[in-house]
Amino acid sequence: MRNTRKSGKVTLADVARAVGVSAITVSRALREPDKVSATLRQRIDHTIRELGYVPDPVARALVTGRTNIIGVIIPSVTNNVFADVLRAVYDVIRMTDFGIQLGNSRYSLLEEEKLVRLFLSQKPAGLIVAGVDQSEATRSLLVEASCPVVQIMEVGDDPIDMMVGFSHYEAARAATRHLIDRGYRRPAFVAARMDPRSQRRLQGFREETEVQGLFDETRIITTQRPSSVAMGVELFGELMSVAPDADAVLCNNDDLALGVLFEAQRRRFRVPDQLGICGFNDLEFCAVAEPSMTSVRTFRHEMGERAIRMLVSAIEGKRPEEALVDLGYEVVHRRSTR
């Protein structure tokens, strides 16, 4: 049943001729497989594989108004936090007829806007975007988009469409209360890559320490540079040079917390008695560090899974009853705090 075409792209009409049906029937089998018999669908699928037919997304967009591609825009492809979210997205999407187009904004609002414009020009079935701090231009594009949109990683009062995440501010306040409840009276905060989520964590730390009468500006050490374990070492050294009396550190993420732990041990601090350490995100290594590390657990895999399921349901005309899903957080107490 090999096609006799010697050159050029295999078309839908070629598939239809080989099967012995109309091109409309083949198109229907691809777009709405439940509307043709299982036997015919198998014949069409077999012929598509035999001929090497690849559907034209542009043609599909012209007919249906959209492609079967879902755009996902995140600020980093190397950060483990976003890797966990993506893993869940891909786990779910492989069970559907949709594909993923991934964009990396590199924490740049301008780059995010460019990616949104590019993705929307390609008529996506839906979009997933990280955060709630889009530029005014990007937000306008997403509000006017002709496809469903899910914002992830945070929750806020004004979702563009749908939203799945948690409050970074409240999570940081809870972590700060944990340190204070454990008897630490001179807590510090260290952070890198001060994106809006990091700033909200800092705000949570600041307000909780102010309420408790324990705030000291000298115990806040931040940088705009990327986060890493080595950066945690550097920031803790800087903290010790300006606030050597600090007795606990809330870190913006677990990489920094691990660096703080390493440098504290090098300086012969007794953790947790002399210095308490708390991370954020609860990555896998927190449980196996020595001592094991207290951290704020965030439900990243569930976030990716909920977001993509909500989006697919909306694409299929079954919008979820809950447009805003707050997954919460959990302060996981381990041996790095008393």
- Pull the structure tokens for residue 329: 């957080």
The pLDDT assigned to 63 comes to 53
The rounded distance, in Å, linking the Cα atoms of 102 and 71 is 6
- Pull the structure tokens for residue 251: 């870190």
The rounded distance, in Å, linking the Cα atoms of 85 and 232 is 24
The pLDDT assigned to 64 comes to 55
- Which residues lie across from 332 on neighbouring strands? 295
How many domains does the structure of the chain reveal? 3
User: Is residue 2, in this structure, part of any structural domain at all?
Assistant: no
Q: At what angle do helices 12-19 and 23-31 cross, to 10 degrees?
A: 110
The rounded distance, in Å, linking the Cα atoms of 115 and 120 is 8
User: Is residue 85, in this structure, part of any structural domain at all?
Assistant: yes
User: Is residue 249, in this structure, part of any structural domain at all?
Assistant: yes
- Give DSSP secondary structure letters for 71-111: EEEES-SS-HHHHHHHHHHHHHHTTSS-EEEEEE-TT-HHH
Buried residues in 278-298 as b, exposed as e (16+ CB within 10 A) = bbbbbbebbeebeeebbbbbb
The rounded distance, in Å, linking the Cα atoms of 30 and 45 is 9
Does the structure show a pLDDT above 50 at 7?
A: no
pLDDT band at 12 (very low <50, low <70, confident <90, very high): confident
Exposure on the CB side of residue 139, measured as CA atoms within 13 A: 9
Q: What are phi and psi of 326, to 5 degrees?
A: -100, 110
The pLDDT assigned to 53 comes to 80
Query: What mean pLDDT comes out for the span 44-68?
Result: 73
* Residue predicted with more confidence, 13 or 61: 13
Q: What is the DSSP letter of 33?
A: G
Does the structure show a pLDDT above 70 at 130?
A: yes
Whether 145 and 180 share a structural domain: no
Whether 311 and 213 share a structural domain: no
User: Is residue 336, in this structure, part of any structural domain at all?
Assistant: no
Whether 256 and 190 share a structural domain: yes
Mention every residue, 6+ apart, whose C-beta is less than 8 A from residue 335: 272, 291, 292, 293, 294
pLDDT digits (tens, 9 = 90+) for 169-228: 999 999 999 999 999 999 999 999 999 999 999 999 999 999 999 999 999 999 999 999
pLDDT digits (tens, 9 = 90+) for 183-192: 999 999 999 9
Mention every residue, 6+ apart, whose C-beta is less than 8 A from residue 116: 73, 127, 129, 134, 138, 141, 142
DSSP run (H or E) holding 164: strand 162-165
Whether 244 and 311 share a structural domain: no
Query: What mean pLDDT comes out for the span 248-256?
Result: 98
> What residues make up the domain containing 271?
168-297
CA angle 159, 84, 143 (to 5 degrees): 20
The CATH code of the domain that includes 191 is 3.40.50.2300
- Pull the structure tokens for residue 171: 């999570």
CB atoms within 10 A of CB 56: 14
Whether 205 and 292 share a structural domain: yes
The CATH code of the domain that includes 42 is 1.10.260
User: Is residue 3, in this structure, part of any structural domain at all?
Assistant: no
User: Is residue 46, in this structure, part of any structural domain at all?
Assistant: yes
The pLDDT assigned to 3 comes to 43
Output the CA torsion 267→272→278→282 (10° steps): 110
- Model confidence, pTM: 0.84
Whether 277 and 158 share a structural domain: no
Whether 305 and 227 share a structural domain: no
- Give DSSP secondary structure letters for 175-240: HHHHHHHTT-SSEEEEESS--HHHHHHHHHHHHHHHHTT---GGGEEE-SSPP-HHHHHHHHHHHH
